[in-house]
Amino acid sequence: MNKALLVSDAAHFRVDYEINPYMHTEVQPDHAAAVSEHEAIVAAHRAAGRRIEYVASAPECPDMVFTANAALVRGDRAVLGAPPPERKAELPYFQEWLINNDFDVLEAPYPFSGQGDALACGDLLLAGYGQRTDRRMHAVLGRALGYEVVPLQTVSHRWYDLDLAVAVVEPGRTLAYCPQALDEPSRRRLGGLGMDLIEVSVEEATRFALNLISDGVTVTMTRGAPRLAAAVRERGLRVVELDTTELAKGGGGVRCTALTLDNPLPAAS
Ligand code: ARG
């Protein structure tokens, strides 16, 4: 899984507004450092054998480096994100890229944070709601992309996207999550999946530990979470830890910077 990723670049990455609790307009990213941080993430994906597609960032879109929010893709279908007003200007660029690359593109009828609130795990979709995604999107995603949806609600704006609170380490087998980030029914739903669950502390989760990309072999993640990194290594996966200091000023980490283009389709029955 996750062998083809759509990324942008950090050329226009800035903090122009505050739409999550990690963003402070008085704390701007260092331009050169942000660009090299992003380049190092992309280089790590390539080294792990992942195919990279690019959409160039636009000057009027300071958050465009976070491509995960653009859509959720499966097979030849993409459901576009419906982000907060501050990020609406990004959509036409992603829509154009997806159409030019032969995806059948659907618009979201309700607020939807794209892959930020939608973690594919085989035929299951761990889907967030209550922050940037309207729960009514779950039925839309289930129908459009053929997923069985597992709804998960995060408890505060600190977890404004589900991919800060939960991570798929090995599809169908291992998840990592921060228990304090989810409400009780959501914790029960996760527990009920019968998978191995790695618990991550609030401290590591707020350093975007869970905002990782895994293909089941290599886990690409932030350097700020040694305990999660160790737990993943113990399970026999390779871990690549990267600096995400500048991206963190926008409230994101490794996973936010890539949109998966090849989530597996259901096995033919
Ligand atoms: N500044 C961006 C926002 O608030 C960060 C997005 C991070 N994306 C993610 N998938 N968590 O929209």
Most ligand 1 atoms within 8 A of CB, residue of 67, 69, 178 to mutate = 69
Sheet holding 104-106, edge to edge: 71-74, 77-80, 104-106
Cα–Cα distance for residue pair 142/28, rounded to 1 Å: 38
266 falls within a domain: no
What is the predicted pLDDT for the residue at 48? 97
- pLDDT tens by residue, 221-238: 999 999 999 999 999 999
269 falls within a domain: no
201 falls within a domain: yes
State the total domains in the chain: 1
- pLDDT tens by residue, 99-115: 999 999 999 999 999 99
Per-residue tokens: 132: 């940037």
Nearest 5°: the CA angle 166, 265, 88 is: 60
- pLDDT tens by residue, 17-48: 999 999 999 999 999 999 999 999 999 999 99
Residue 168 β-bridge partners:
175
- pLDDT tens by residue, 190-204: 999 999 999 999 999
101 falls within a domain: yes
Cα–Cα distance for residue pair 139/115, rounded to 1 Å: 15
The enclosing domain of 102 has a CATH number of: 3.75.10.10
- pLDDT tens by residue, 77-102: 999 999 999 999 999 999 999 999 99
CB contact at 8 A, 122 and 168 = no
Q: Can you tell me which atom of ligand 1 is nearest the CA of 211? A: 11
268 falls within a domain: no
135 falls within a domain: yes
pLDDT of 269 over the 60 cut: no
265 falls within a domain: no
Most ligand 1 atoms within 8 A of CB, residue of 15, 20, 166 to mutate = 20
Distance from Cα 189 to the centre of ligand 1, integer Å: 25
pTM, full prediction: 0.96
Domain hosting residue 209, numbered range:
4-260
Percent of the chain with pLDDT over 70: 99
- Ligand 1, CB within 6 Å, residue ranges: 19-20, 23, 63, 66, 68-69, 87, 116, 161, 163-164, 250-252, 256
- pLDDT tens by residue, 151-210: 999 999 999 999 999 999 999 999 999 999 999 999 999 999 999 999 999 999 999 999
* 94-115 burial: b if 16+ Cβ within 10 Å, else e: bbebbeeeebebbebeebbbbb
96 falls within a domain: yes
Q: Is this complex's ipTM strictly greater than 0.85?
A: yes
Phi, psi values for residue 126, rounded to 5°: -80, 115
pLDDT of 1 over the 60 cut: no
What is the predicted pLDDT for the residue at 267? 75
What is the predicted pLDDT for the residue at 54? 98
Ligand 1, atom 7: closest residue by C-alpha = 252
Most ligand 1 atoms within 8 A of CB, residue of 13, 17, 24, 63 to mutate = 63
pLDDT of 268 over the 80 cut: no
Please provide the average confidence, as pLDDT, over all residues in the chain: 97
Distance from Cα 250 to the centre of ligand 1, integer Å: 7
- With helix as H, strand as E and coil as C, how does the chain read? CCCEEEECCCCCCCCCCCCCCCCCCCCCCCHHHHHHHHHHHHHHHHHCCCEEEECCCCCCCCCCCCHHHHEEEECCEEEECECCHHHHHHHHHHHHHHHHCCCEEECCCCCECHHHHEEEECCEEEEEECCCCCCCHHHHHHHHHCCEEEEEEECCHHHCCHHHCEEEEECCCEEEECHHHECHHHHHHHHCCCCEEEECCHHHHCCCCCCCEECCCEEEEECCCHHHHHHHHHCCCEEEEECCCCHHHHCCCCHHHCEECCCCCCCCC
Per-residue tokens: 31: 């331009």
